[in-house]
Amino acid sequence: MPRFTAGLMSVTFRSLPLHDVATLAARAGLGKVSWSGDVHVQPGNFRQAALAAALCAGAGLDVESYGSYWRADGAPFGDIAATAARLGAPRIRVWAGASGSAGSSADHRARIAGNIARAADLAAGEGITLHLEFHPNTLTDTAESTVRLLADIAAARDNPSLPVRSYWQPRPGIDGPLALAELRQLGGTVGALHVFSWDARANRLPLKVHAGAWRERLETLAQGSAGSIDLMLEFVAGDSPDQLLRDASELHSWIEGLRARPE
C-alpha cells in the first residue's frame, strides 16, 4: 500500500501571505505545502522561494511541489526549475498544453511531449521530477491520453531518469465508476491527488459530503500503487480557514482508516 500524506495547495488561500499559509497548514496537522507560481512564489523570485522554504522548515512542513502553470508551449523553463530548486521542491507541476486531447493533432501532441521532455531533463539536473496536471482542455483530460502522453515523453527524453508522473483530480460531476476507472488506468503514474469536494457546477462543498467517493478512490489507489502519494487539499468551501481545519480532520480520518486495515 502506498504511503499517503496530507497537504495543502497554497493557491487555496490566494489572498493569504506565505507565513499565514504555512501556519494554517501546520495548525491543520498537514505535512506538506505546494506553493503556487502565480501568487505566492513567482518564477525567478528566489528571495520569496527561500522564504517559503524557511517558513515550511520552521513549521515542520515539507515542500510538496511547485505549481508552475507552465503550459509546455515553448516558453522558457529555466527560471521555473531554478525557483523550484531554491524552494526545495522535489517536483514541479506543469500543464500539458491548452487544447483537449480529442481535437489535438499528432503534430501538437509531439510538440507538447517534446517540450515536456526537455523540461523534464532540465529539472532532473536539479533532482526534480515533473508531474502533469490532470485537467480538462489539456492533453491530460483523460486517463488514456495521459498514459499515452507519458509514454511519448519518456521516448523523447535524453535523460530518462526521474520519470514524469501525473496528478489526478475529479472533474465536476464525474461519476464514481469513471473516477475509479481513471485511477486504475493511471496506476503507478499517479504521484498526488488534488482533494476537494464540489458539485456538477463546481460549487464548493465540505469534504465530508463526498467522503464515500473519496474513500473508494483511496482504496483503489491502495490496491494498485506503491511508494508515496500526496493528498493535497484545495478548493475549500467559502475559502474558509475553519473549513480547511474540518476538511483536514476528515482527510486524516480516511488515511488512518487505510493504515488500520490489515494487509
Task: Say which residue the cell 507560481 belongs to.
Answer: 37
Cell numbers linked to 128:
526534480
pLDDT digits (tens, 9 = 90+) for 86-126: 999 999 999 999 999 999 999 999 999 999 999 999 999 99
Q: Which amino acid is at 61?
A: L
Cell numbers linked to 24:
494554517
Domain ranges across the chain: 3-260
Q: What is the DSSP string of 105-153?
A: -HHHHHHHHHHHHHHHHHHHTTT-EEEE---TTSTTSSHHHHHHHHHHH
pLDDT digits (tens, 9 = 90+) for 28-58: 999 999 999 999 999 999 999 999 999 999 9
Q: What is the pLDDT of residue 263?
A: 63
C-alpha distance from residue 219 to each of 35, 72, 104, 184, 227 (Å): 27, 33, 33, 11, 15
Cell numbers linked to 98:
491548452
**CATH number of this structure's domain 3-260:** 3.20.20.150
Rounded CA-CA distance 98/244 in Å is 30
pLDDT < 50 stretches in the chain: none
Rounded CA-CA distance 47/2 in Å is 34
Contact between 21 and 241 (Cβ < 8 Å):
no
pTM > 0.85: yes or no: yes
Strand partners, 3: 228
Rounded CA-CA distance 124/260 in Å is 36
Burial 101-135 (b: 16+ CB within 10 A, else e): beebeeeebebbbbbbbbbbbbbbebebbbbbbbb
What string of H, E and C letters represents the secondary structure of 159-195?
CCCCCCEEEECCCCCCCHHHHHHHHHHHHHHEEEEEE
